[in-house]
Amino acid sequence: MTTEQLETELVPDETETVSSTQSLSCSIVDYRRENGRTYHRYKDGKYNLPNDGLEAERLNLQHHLFLLTFDDSLGLAPPNKAKSEVKRVLDLGTGTGIWAMDFGDEHPEAHPTFVPPNVEFFIDDIDEEWNHSAPFDYIHSRMMTSSIGNWPDYLKKIYDNLNPGGYVELQEADLFLSSDDATLHPTQPLPYCLKLIHHRDET
Question: Is the pTM here over 0.75, yes or no?
Answer: no
Q: Is residue 167 part of a domain?
A: yes
pLDDT at 90: 92
- Structural domain contains residue 70: yes
Q: Please tell me the predicted confidence (pLDDT) of residue 25.
A: 55
pLDDT of residue 156: 97
In a domain, 25, yes or no: yes
Q: What is the pLDDT along the chain (203 residues), one digit of tens a residue?
A: 333 333 333 333 334 444 344 445 555 567 788 888 888 776 666 677 888 889 999 999 999 999 999 999 999 999 999 889 999 999 998 888 999 999 999 998 886 545 667 667 766 778 788 888 899 999 999 999 878 889 999 999 999 999 999 999 999 988 788 888 989 888 899 889 888 877 776 66
pLDDT for residue 131? 85
CATH number, position 155? 3.40.50
Quote the pLDDT of residue 182: 86
Per-residue b or e along 15-31, where b marks 16 or more CB atoms closer than 10 Å to that residue's CB? beeeeeeeeeeeeeeeb
In a domain, 9, yes or no: yes
Q: Which residues contact 182 (CB under 8 A, 6 or more apart)?
A: none
Domain assignment present for residue 89? The answer is yes
Distance between CA 97 and CA 115 in Å, rounded?
9
> What residues make up the domain containing 155?
5-171
The pLDDT assigned to 8 comes to 32
Q: Give 132's contacts (C-beta < 8 A, 6+ positions apart).
A: 90, 161
pLDDT number for residue 2: 33
For the packed helices 98-106 and 53-69, what is the interaxial angle rounded to 10 degrees?
Answer: 50
Max CA pair span of the chain: 60
In a domain, 177, yes or no: no
Domain count, the chain: 1
